[in-house]
Amino acid sequence: MKFGIFYEHQLPRPWGEDDEHKLYKDALDQIELADRLGFDHVWEVEHHFLEEYSHSSAPEVFLGAASQRTSRIRIGHGIVQLPVNFNHTARIAERIATLDLVSDGRVEFGTGPRQRVLPDAHFARDLGCLLFEALAAHGWRLTDPAKVAGSPQAYRRFIQGSRGELGIAKSGYVEARCGWFSDRSVCYLASGRPVIAQETGFSDVLPVGAGLFSFETGEDVEGALEELARDYEGQRRAARAGDRPARARRRRSSSAAGISRAEPARRRGDRGLRSAPLLRADDRSLAGLG
């Protein structure tokens, strides 16, 4: 068994003039002591624009200082935030390599997504989001989520002004087939707007094929879009149908009538997106269909 220490640099109010300086100095003293006592590793988080919970916006600087006051304890990023508008991939590699050099090869490197949605509003002002730019370059029309979801009324207007939803699920939901279904998609259905949602196992409970389509491959999406174009008003009426949950219970194990060519690939034996999802995104819509 190995033992380590983990730092968020929490600093509750009220704040004194020298509190953050003392917080960092105390943490470095603790790491130096942990090194002498035989602790195996120290990990440091990365958070931005938070107060009290974490004052750790530059962990590479802190860990560099820790490396010069220790000799054996391993030094870990837990984690470096990966979105390119936070940390460019090349700069991450440069920083980690440099830290590994000055620490004599003691670096542990953890990566992960950003925390919540707060920092985007700050970083994107200057750097932009390269993912959104890439989508826009391929014909996507993008909307600032802060504008369309700033209030329940604004969110309702956005949904009712859309032709429908193409929803991308978290890869973990897809792999686990846990049946996850977004409450956002429920809002679209309740507004009579068709939904094309990435398959997470929800089609075992909800009927698909009229107003609601599940997909696992790009071909599934194309088939669903063709069905919507063929009879959009009919698909809107099906999406709004109030007895959807009741029908789902009756047809849980049956092949629902009306399932189109967008029937999930899993029923054809093609694993499709199981190994290569179209997009690895969080559970927010990338855009409306209209």
The residue type found at 205 is V
Band (90; pLDDT cuts 50, 70, 90): very high
More confident residue, 240 or 6: 6
What are the residue ranges of helices labelled H in 145-284? 145-148, 152-160, 171-176, 183-190, 218-230, 232-240, 244-250
Instruction: Check residue 144 and give its pLDDT.
Output: 76
The residue type found at 144 is D
Instruction: Check residue 252 and give its pLDDT.
Output: 40
Residue whose token pair is 């970083």 = 123
Instruction: Check residue 289 and give its pLDDT.
Output: 45
Band (121; pLDDT cuts 50, 70, 90): low
| Model confidence at 120: pLDDT above 90 | no
Token duo for residue 118: 């707060």
| Model confidence at 193: pLDDT above 80 | yes
Please write the tens of the pLDDT for every residue from 130-180: 666 777 788 877 777 778 888 899 999 999 999 999 999 988 899 999 999
Least confident of 17-31, 223-237, 276-290: 276-290
Please write the tens of the pLDDT for every residue from 35-69: 999 999 999 999 988 889 999 999 999 999 999 99
Token duo for residue 207: 């009927």
Say if CB 56 and CB 45 are below 8 A apart. Answer: yes
Q: What is the C-alpha separation between 64 and 99, in angstroms, rounded?
A: 6
Instruction: Check residue 285 and give its pLDDT.
Output: 40
Radius of gyration of the chain (CA): 24
The mean of the pLDDT values for the chain is 81
What's the start-to-end Cα distance of the chain, in Å?
55
Token duo for residue 154: 């604004």
Say if CB 261 and CB 223 are below 8 A apart. Answer: yes
- Per the DSSP assignment, residues forming a β-bridge with 43 are 6, 76
**Pairing mode, if any, of strands 165-167 and 212-215?**
unpaired
Instruction: Check residue 129 and give its pLDDT.
Output: 56
More confident residue, 10 or 120: 10
3-state class (DSSP) for residue 5: strand
Please write the tens of the pLDDT for every residue from 236-280: 999 987 444 434 433 443 333 333 334 444 444 443 333 333 333
pTM higher than 0.75: no
Longest dimension (CA), the chain: 72
* Packing angle of the helix pair 218-230, 232-240 (nearest 10 deg): 100
